[in-house]
A and B are shown apart, each in its own frame.
Chain A
């Protein structure tokens, strides 16, 4: 079947495929807008972000803002917080490994937005915007992917990846469109083989992948009848990209067998620990934004049992991640951002039906940032003696996000391309009426 070509002036399919492999690769995942934002930005210190998304809202009192003096009704059984390797910083007793890494991160204890509903709070913390006003804003990851995607050394790998499932509760890409949605890996990195959805197919050998691909090429009758037709070039390019991931070297970034057992153990062999390890590998390969979607923090009931089970796992994974990033010289260029959509009620709900639970709490909560230009070993702001209100130095989600953009070399006032041409800034501008505690200049 010799295909005929009528598009003599156009690129041949072969050329298209070749450029698909090299030059144009970034255009598939990345962004033609890349660099547009750099004009008004300070030079980038951070290249990447690892977001540990504490889905459901973790208790600030039981993690990074303990209040032992507030008594049983606030602390429950966790009333013996521990010192860290930084004088004066004390954190929850279930985080002994993180206590040894406190010089690497700073704790923001005055986070606030006063919203107690998951959807709205998650939207605010991850987009830096309040809902409403007829605009659906993109998440930080989509914005970073928009400005920085396609500039990495390995453009084959998507610039914005979520481990392992998308959040579902809001559209990460917002008005930027589905192109800027994160690539959700699916699968589970704790399994023997991390079956990354679409890239690693269980039960199909490379041999069969190759022979299938050849079969597809031969039976692709419309594609062959339209050889050289520019209308089908984007499909061919996307396909060639996909196969570079399925059969090429890039997929090895997901292969944890390349890591030493000892290190894998240190991260913790559960899904979270191994996700932290994958995140480090992705950042090492030039991925711009990795979200670890860490579920299970919406602890209305059996709160303290959940903390005893989950916090050691979090402690292991996150502490090893910080240590490992630092050991490889990656922490200087990688922001680690730990936060949920809110904290949890400081006062324990002992009554039925909660029987020792904590509810949603947006008045004050904690976030942790490390690396990428953020100074470690500091505490920013404070909550009051019972962790119920901001006492000192409020930080709103947009303050934190604007600080990260600044470190990433993204102008917080840069314009995003709204489909109806509305002038939308990366972060709220002064005249939009957002309360603000200002950027985190004290740790930048």
Chain B
């Protein structure tokens, strides 16, 4: 085989093509007739692997919907990396998993991934979206406080701090925005008036939107947030958030200053107690109808791609859960485990429901809402650019409109690990990264646009990454035979081996295009990166 990558002699090109053709011919016929779905399914009928599956399959049976088959190992490894870590598996990680003969390898992989550093990065990113962690515009957390707040959130995810404690900390903490970072919860809300804080807390931990409740209910919540004080210090951009015992509770819009929990119970507030604590204790109590539900529904949505109540921040009586029994069971699991979110993630990831193929076997409209097949969605902007960088061994530059020290980042900074929503790039904006202005799930825009397609198909940015990064150099490196070249690119980009049919198409392309070996490899990499299979979590 030729060892130079560029400017091959015509003879070498011919040899390469001949070898390529030979390599695929031997295996080409056997599986030719297999439908393309074979790549995505393992062929087995799904059988319940636990309570989640019993509840989901029972519901599907009742609706007369046939669930999809179980997904292939290749789809699973890619999906679980993307959902848990926000990264692609490397070619080697994908290969090892696919070839692993341990029958319990999926469960083992889930356990490994939940312990990795990237799990904390990705979890922190998701929380920072919901909690609006951003230096400026429209809110002013400021860069130094953003860094502290992000570190605190990330540490909570990494240490798997019980969810009720995490929320209570956010709602009740007092102190400096730089030293007690969780106080930034209040500073990140739409406004500082009690109503804005109440609505921010309801959105974040109850999944309730401002318009879902009437004025009376919000007024009843205001007194809990009416005695939050703010003061600046001598230190640059430091601000203390504290319980301001001197603040009078102003009458709410409805003319009353009575503190009423959202369930209608009247609260007893004493002069000396921070009323936020009274609210937080009500919120996190095991019988609270909103709290655990919002948490498990959000976790489900993050992993499965669609909430049991959907959107997960739109909980209201006329937007019911598609499977109430499932939601209720998960709530009980969360509470019984001591608010252990990792326990809930593990239950979901090990279910057959999570592991279904994306190829539906029913065209009923309710199939997706009832989890009859895997949801597909465009990769998050941050995940996509990190994947492109990882694949090609290239880096990105990020910048912030707020010119402060934290914008100096290492060259290999991952977008998923960016602390600050104000630190960005045109790629992130083009691919729908949320601005963190509202904390709503819908702020992330995963809708494909023509501008995105132009960028991926044809921009200098992406073309340079493919052509000048490591990907092609490694793939066509010395001693690689054509089959290894193709397999290497497929494993790196799509986390799987090519089918015989795909090998044949690639060989044919190399032959008819007359391109040098390296250029043919560039075109193959380009095509795989532009395929729906790469761009979508499936």
A pairs with B: yes
- A40, CB-defined interface residue at 8 Å: no
Whether A420 contacts B523 by the Cβ 8 Å rule is: no
State the CA gap A440–B40 with chains docked (Å).
63
| Residues A236-260 near B (CB distance < 8 A) | 237-239, 241-243, 245-246
Contact A197 B455 (CB under 8 A): yes
Partner-binding segment picked from A176-184, A265-273, A395-403: A176-184
Across the interface, do B527 and A171 meet the contact criterion of CB distance under 8 Å?
no
CA distance A243 to B378 in the complex (A): 20
**B450 CB contact (under 8 Å) in A169, A186, A216, A241:** A241
> Which of B102-110, B436-444, B473-481 has 4 or more CB atoms under 8 Å from chain A?
B436-444
Residue in contact with A246 in the complex, picked from B449, B454, B530, CB distance below 8 Å? B454
Q: Specify which chain A residues have a CB less than 8 angstroms from the CB of B399 in the assembled complex.
A: 168
Tell me which residues from 113 to 154 in chain A have a Cβ below 8 Å from any Cβ of chain B. 119, 131-136
**Chain B positions within 8 Å of A186 at CB level:** 459-460
Decide yes or no: A179 and B445 within 8 Å by CB, A198-B457, A220-B533, A222-B40 being known contacts.
yes
Decide if B211 touches A212 in the complex (CB within 8 Å): no
Question: With a CB–CB cut-off of 8 A, which chain B residues contact A32?
Answer: none
Question: In the assembled complex, which residues on chain B have CB atoms less than 8 Å from the CB atom of A212?
Answer: 523, 526-527
Cβ of A199 and Cβ of B527 under 8 Å apart? no
Q: Is the CB of A420 within 8 A of B190?
A: yes
Q: Are A201 and B531 in contact (CB under 8 A)?
A: no
Chain A: minimal CB distance from B152 (Å): 23
Give the segment of A5-13, A44-52, A64-72 that binds chain B.
Answer: A5-13
Question: Is A421 an interface position by the 8 A CB rule?
Answer: yes
Residue from the list A10, A131, A220, A245 in contact with B531, Cβ < 8 A: A220
Q: Which residues of B contact A10 (CB under 8 A)?
A: 363
Q: Mark A161-182, 1 if CB is under 8 A from B, else 0.
A: 0000010111100010111010
Would A232 and B531 be within 8 Å (CB), given that A134-B139, A221-B36, A242-B453 are in contact? no
Question: A134-B138, A171-B435 are known contacts. Are A242 and B457 too (CB-CB below 8 A)?
Answer: yes
B284 at the interface (CB under 8 A from A): no
B455 touches A198 (CB 8 A): yes
- With A134-B138, A419-B442, A420-B190 known to touch, is A181 a contact of B437 (CB < 8 Å)? no
Does B262 reach chain A (CB closer than 8 Å)? no
Tell me whether A222 and B138 are in contact (CB under 8 A): no
A214 nearest CB across to chain B (Å) = 8
Within the complex, what minimum Cβ distance (angstroms) separates A154 from chain B? 13
Q: Which of B121-129, B265-273, B425-433 contacts A (4 or more CB under 8 A)?
A: B425-433
In the complex, are the beta carbons of A133 and B459 less than 8 A apart? no
A1 contacts partner chain B, Cβ-Cβ < 8 Å: yes
Q: How far is the CA of A226 from the CA of B359 in the complex (A)?
A: 7
A-B contact count (CB 8 A): 188
Which size class do A's interface residues fall under?
Answer: 35 or more
Contact A135:B138 (CB < 8 A) given known A219-B502, A219-B527: yes
Q: Is the CB of B36 within 8 A of A199?
A: no
Give complex CA distance A199, B458 in Å.
7
Chain A residues with CB under 8 A of B35: 4, 225
Q: Are A136 and B532 in contact (CB under 8 A)?
A: no
Q: B363 touching A9 by the CB < 8 A rule?
A: yes
What CA separation (Å) do A209 and B211 show in the bound complex? Answer: 49
A419 CA / B435 CA spacing, docked (Å): 12
* Total chain B interface residues with beta-carbon distance under 8 A: 69
Question: Which residues does chain A contribute within 8 Å of B138, judged by CB atoms?
Answer: 132-136
Chain A 405-438 per-residue mask, 1 if CB under 8 angstroms from chain B, else 0: 0000000000000011100000000000000000
Assess A198 versus B454: contact at CB under 8 Å? Given A225-B37, A419-B437. Answer: yes
Report if A28 contacts B (CB, 8 A).
yes
On whether the beta carbons of A234 and B36 are closer than 8 Å, the reply is no
Q: Are B39 and A134 in contact (CB under 8 A)?
A: no
B345 contact set on A, CB distance < 8 A: none
Interchain CB contact under 8 A, A421 and B449: no
Could you tell me the distance between the alpha carbons of A168 and B426 in the complex, rounded to whole angstroms?
Answer: 8
Cα of A237 to Cα of B535 in the assembled complex, Å = 15
> In whole angstroms, how far apart are the Cα atoms of A203 and B462 in the complex?
14
Is B531 touching A222 in the complex (CB atoms < 8 A)?
yes
Q: A197-B455, A215-B509, A221-B533 are in contact. Are A419 and B37 (CB under 8 A)?
A: no
Q: Residues of A contacting B448 with CB < 8 Å?
A: 234-235, 237-239
CA gap between A78 and B443 in the complex, in Å:
51
B251 beta carbon closer than 8 Å to chain A: no
Among A136, A223, A225, A242, contact of B39 (Cβ-Cβ < 8 Å): A225
A136, A178, A218, A241: most-surrounded residue (chain B CB, <10 A): A178
CA distance A209 to B513 in the complex (A): 11
Give the residue of A6, A158, A171 whose beta carbon is less than 8 angstroms from that of B363.
Answer: A6
Contact B449 A232 (CB under 8 A): no
Q: Are A1 and B501 in contact (CB under 8 A)?
A: yes
Chain A residues with Cβ below 8 Å from B359 are: 225-226
- A216-B530, A223-B532, A419-B437 in contact; A239/B457 too (CB < 8 A)? yes
The chain A residue with its CB closest to the CB of B199 is A420
Q: Which chain B residues numbered 199 to 219 have a C-beta less than 8 Å away from chain A? A: 210-211
Q: Which chain A residues numbered 1 to 47 have a C-beta less than 8 Å away from chain B?
A: 1, 3-4, 6-10, 28-29
In the complex, A208 Cα to B461 Cα: how many Å?
19
B22 shortest CB reach to chain A, Å: 21
Given A28-B449, A135-B138, A235-B535; A178-B430 close (CB under 8 Å): yes
Q: Does B401 contact A (CB under 8 A)?
A: yes
B530's nearest neighbour on chain A, judged by CB, is A216
Q: Which of chain B's residues have a CB closer than 8 A to the CB of A238?
A: 448-450, 452-453
A195 interface neighbour in B460, B523, B531, Cβ under 8 Å = B460
Residue in B190, B453, B463, B526 with the greatest tally of chain A CB atoms within 10 Å? B453
Tell me, yes or no, whether B423 is within 8 Å of chain A by CB: no
Residues B442 and A197 in contact, CB atoms below 8 Å apart: no
Residue with the highest number of chain A CB atoms closer than 10 Å, among B458, B501, B536:
B458
Name the CB-closest residue of B to A419. Answer: B438
Give complex CA distance A184, B461 in Å.
13
Which B residues from 88 to 147 make CB contacts under 8 A with A? 137-139
Name B362-385 residues within 8 Å CB distance of A: 363, 376, 378
Asked if A224 is at the interface of the complex by the 8 Å CB criterion, the answer is: yes
By the criterion CB–CB under 8 Å, are A1 and B36 in contact?
Answer: yes
B358, A246: Cβ atoms closer than 8 Å: no
Q: Is A231 an interface residue (CB 8 A)?
A: yes
A235 touches B532 (CB 8 A): yes
CA distance A199 to B463 in the complex (A): 12
Cα separation A219 to B359 with both chains bound (whole Å): 17
Most chain B Cβ neighbours within 10 Å, of A3, A212, A219: A219
Pair B191/A134 contact, Cβ less than 8 Å: yes
Q: Which residues of B contact A215 (CB under 8 A)?
A: 505, 509, 523-524, 527
Q: Tell me the minimal C-beta distance from B39 to chain A in angstroms.
A: 6
Q: Are A8 and B430 in contact (CB under 8 A)?
A: no
State whether B190 touches A246 (Cβ < 8 A): no
In the complex the two chains form, is A171's CB within 8 Å of B449's CB? Answer: no
B210 and A420 within 8 A (CB): yes
Known: A222-B532, A234-B447. A6 touches B360 (CB 8 A): yes
Decide if A309 is an interface residue (CB 8 Å cutoff).
no
Q: Is the CB of A197 within 8 A of B532?
A: no
Does B36 lie within 8 Å of A224, measured CB to CB?
A: yes
Q: Is the CB of B460 within 8 A of A221?
A: no
Closest residue on chain A to residue B362 by CB atoms: A6
Judge whether B455 and A221 touch: CB under 8 Å: no
Closest residue on chain A to residue B140 by CB atoms? A132
B538 CB–A CB distance under 8 Å: yes
19 additional contacts, CB 8 Å, given A170-B137, A221-B533, A222-B531?
A133-B138, A134-B138, A178-B432, A181-B429, A186-B459, A197-B455, A197-B459, A198-B451, A198-B459, A199-B458, A211-B509, A211-B512, A219-B524, A220-B533, A221-B502, A225-B40, A226-B358, A232-B532, A241-B453
| Pairs A–B under 8 Å by Cβ, sample size 21 | A6-B360, A28-B450, A133-B138, A177-B435, A177-B443, A178-B430, A179-B449, A197-B461, A198-B459, A199-B454, A215-B524, A215-B527, A219-B506, A219-B528, A221-B39, A222-B40, A225-B359, A238-B450, A238-B453, A245-B450, A420-B190
Closest 5 pairs between A and B when the two form their complex, measured CB to CB: A198-B454, A242-B453, A222-B533, A241-B450, A225-B36
